[in-house]
Amino acid sequence: MLQAIHKKLDELYPEMVDIRRYLHQYPELSFQETKTAQYIADFYEQLAIPYQKNVGGNGVIATLKGGKPGKTIALRADFDALPIQDEKNVPYKSKVDGVMHACGHDGHTASLLTLAKTMKTFRDSMPGTIVFVHQHAEEYAPGGAKPIVESGALDHVDAVFGTHLWATTPFGVLQTTKDVFMAGTDRFEITIQGQGGHGAYPHETKDAIVLGSKLVSDLQQIVSRRLDPLETAVVTIGVFEAGTTFNVIADKARIIGSVRHLNTAVQEKVIAEMEKIIQAVCAGNDAAYTFDYVRGYPPLVNHEEEAELVLKAGSKVEEVHTTEEVRPVMAGEDFAYYTIEKPGAYFFTGAQKEGNYYPHHHPKFDIDERAIPVAAKTLITAYFEYQT
């Protein structure tokens, strides 16, 4: 039956592309995806597949029960976009100013929707139950996965699988790990309150820019000098705001950044070291500070048996010529909440577009749309493998 399912997905390839390109033109930011959620719900309405709306927020979950007994398995796709201006010169360029599907979630949605349409055709001979999880707000913590899990909508599920169309991995390559796959991602904000003054009299001030600059430099030593070299972490400063004009010494600086880690012990070490450094820099210069640290998504940890099953499934997809285990990546994913609660695995489906080598979250990001059916084929093959 798998061969027939794969063939049907190939037949639906033009529809996959149409769905993806429509969604690409009308992206919505995290927690604001009401029209996209309605589009997904309408699709299932037309298929006469039962669904729930507003799950954990804007989530949509559809359920297809097969004609034969078997396990209940969730397949997940996210559907939010990013606050990025689309700079591609293509007919399906985003029509929403400052908002763009710069991570492939439109392709994830197209893949899962057409997979549902395909499996409706094969329902009578299908074992078990597929739970199609369309998740909102992956891009911005606290994300959509956690409230979906907390809603209890997946309590009855035996396992969960998901994939990301990965634009920096060549088409035909499938990648995963049998342990930690993606990093935990946190964010922080530091404010330094010094004492401003005239640029001609620096000795009468507590220069927030100088203090902030030292702080930025010292924070980089956490990874290079305060962690075991065999441990992995990233401390990134993304925002440094201070000052108003050329001849005024700033009294306040604002620093915003992210921390990435592969385990909680390293996370706690980084937080403690950050606190020490901030306190030392500010106390030594009679400056006040605030330090707000927000723990974001935990590391995404695959289950070994389910990851092995994904690799096996990939080897049965005609377009996949390479299945491989890779090192963890330091990007984050709230799919982590699913594998904390249920057996499961996440994997990358190679989607690098010829001539377009821009990474995720880039204004010119795009994917090889041939990867959309490959993602669907791998997910449904993993579903059948799990039934045996």
16: domain CATH number is 3.40.630.10
Looking at the structure, tell me whether residues 222 and 306 fall in a common domain: no
* Contact assessment for residue 239 and residue 255, using Cβ atoms and an 8 Å cutoff: yes
Give the separation between CA 318 and CA 75, rounded to whole angstroms: 21
The residue segments making up the domain with residue 191 are 184-297
15-74 pLDDT, tens digit per residue, is: 999 999 999 999 999 999 999 999 999 999 999 999 999 999 999 999 999 999 999 999
245: domain CATH number is 3.30.70.360
Looking at the structure, tell me whether residues 176 and 320 fall in a common domain: yes
According to the annotation, is 103 in a ligand binding site?
Answer: yes
- Around Cβ 152, how many Cβ atoms within 10 Å? 10
Cα four-point dihedral sign 305, 307, 312, 317: positive
Looking at the structure, tell me whether residues 169 and 212 fall in a common domain: no
Give the separation between CA 175 and CA 26, rounded to whole angstroms: 30
Looking at the structure, tell me whether residues 167 and 276 fall in a common domain: no
Looking at the structure, tell me whether residues 12 and 121 fall in a common domain: yes
pTM score, whole prediction: 0.95
Looking at the structure, tell me whether residues 327 and 286 fall in a common domain: no
Looking at the structure, tell me whether residues 351 and 221 fall in a common domain: no
Average pLDDT of the residues in 269-295: 97
Looking at the structure, tell me whether residues 349 and 368 fall in a common domain: yes
The residue among 234, 268, 297 that closes a domain is 297
Average pLDDT of the residues in 262-273: 97
Nearest of 341, 284, 318, 344 to residue 147 by alpha carbon? 341
Phi, then psi, of 255 in degrees rounded to 5: -125, 125
According to the annotation, is 139 in a ligand binding site?
Answer: yes
According to the annotation, is 308 in a ligand binding site?
Answer: no
Average pLDDT of the residues in 337-358: 97
Catalytic residues: 80, 138
Question: CA dihedral in degrees (338, 344, 348, 349; nearest 10)?
Answer: -110
Looking at the structure, tell me whether residues 28 and 136 fall in a common domain: yes
The residue among 243, 268, 297 that closes a domain is 297
312-331 pLDDT, tens digit per residue, is: 999 999 999 999 999 999 99
The residue among 282, 297, 312 that closes a domain is 297
Looking at the structure, tell me whether residues 160 and 44 fall in a common domain: yes
* Strand ranges of the sheet holding 233-242, from the earlier edge strand across to the other edge: 233-242, 252-261, 184-193, 288-297
Provide the pLDDT for residue 164.
98
Looking at the structure, tell me whether residues 61 and 170 fall in a common domain: yes
Looking at the structure, tell me whether residues 93 and 144 fall in a common domain: yes
Structural domains in the chain (count): 2
